[in-house]
């Protein structure tokens, strides 16, 4: 496959700082359940993407969330970008290859501004159930775009440090887990190729 252009992002997420979680001891104990010392795997719940409270269950479910987060892209020299997220909501129909959901897709609405331009994106759990995928995007310079639901923008489920997964889609993506420091922290590379 010939790669014409690539986007490489290094994302560092820490729910304690990035998502402004309560520092309550009971919530910290819940996050300790994410690690499996025997398999050296970490369960990454949807709540790390949404910023909502996690109940400690190893299930990928889309629960009610309304949060404001701060995403920092390390390779870019700019301050954190505030991002608002709410949902889940339902699409009118399923025009993707996301088979696990049926006729309507539950999604989170994510809005933010980049270079002064408002961006609206819809995210759901991908068809392979190992990541969050964008299924809709609207911005001034691109217009409205629909996606097939096969890629991945954020890892979910069981992952190990150093693990790499590639998602086959119209625009293939690659995620590599760089660090799994502490129960609520995640650092990974995301690369999308055109």
- Is 177 within the bounds of a domain? yes
Could you read off the pLDDT of 125-154 as tens digits, one per residue?
A: 998 999 999 999 999 888 999 888 888 999
Nearest to 100 by CA among 58, 60, 51: 60
Q: Tokens 């892209």 belong to which residue?
A: 73
Q: Check residue 8 and give its pLDDT.
A: 37
**Domain coverage including residue 126:** 6-193
Rounded to whole angstroms, the Cα distance separating 184 from 24 reads 13
Could you read off the pLDDT of 66-95 as tens digits, one per residue?
A: 999 876 666 667 677 788 999 999 999 998
- Is 146 within the bounds of a domain? yes
pLDDT at 98 over 70: yes
- Is 187 within the bounds of a domain? yes
- Is 1 within the bounds of a domain? no
What 3-state DSSP class applies to 49?
A: helix
Nearest to 185 by CA among 39, 75, 21: 21
């Amino acid at each position: 496959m010939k790669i014409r252009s690539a986007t490489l992002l290094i994302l560092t997420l820490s729910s304690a700082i990035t998502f402004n979680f309560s520092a309550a001891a009971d919530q910290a104990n819940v996050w300790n359940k994410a690690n499996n010392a025997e398999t050296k795997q970490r369960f990454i719940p949807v709540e790390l993407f949404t910023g909502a409270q996690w109940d400690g269950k190893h299930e990928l479910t889309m629960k009610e969330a309304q949060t404001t987060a701060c995403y920092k892209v390390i390779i870019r020299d700019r301050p954190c970008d505030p991002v608002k997220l709410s949902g889940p909501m339902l699409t009118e129909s399923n025009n993707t290859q996301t088979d696990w959901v049926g006729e309507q897709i539950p999604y989170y609405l994510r809005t933010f501004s980049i270079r002064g331009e408002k961006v609206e994106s819809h995210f759901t759990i991908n068809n392979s159930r190992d990541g969050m995928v964008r299924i809709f995007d609207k911005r001034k310079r691109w217009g409205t775009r629909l996606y097939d639901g096969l890629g991945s923008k954020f890892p979910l489920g069981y992952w190990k440090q150093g693990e790499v997964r590639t998602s086959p889609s119209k625009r293939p993506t690659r995620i590599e887990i760089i660090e799994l420091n502490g129960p609520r922290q995640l650092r990974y590379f995301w690369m999308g190729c055109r």
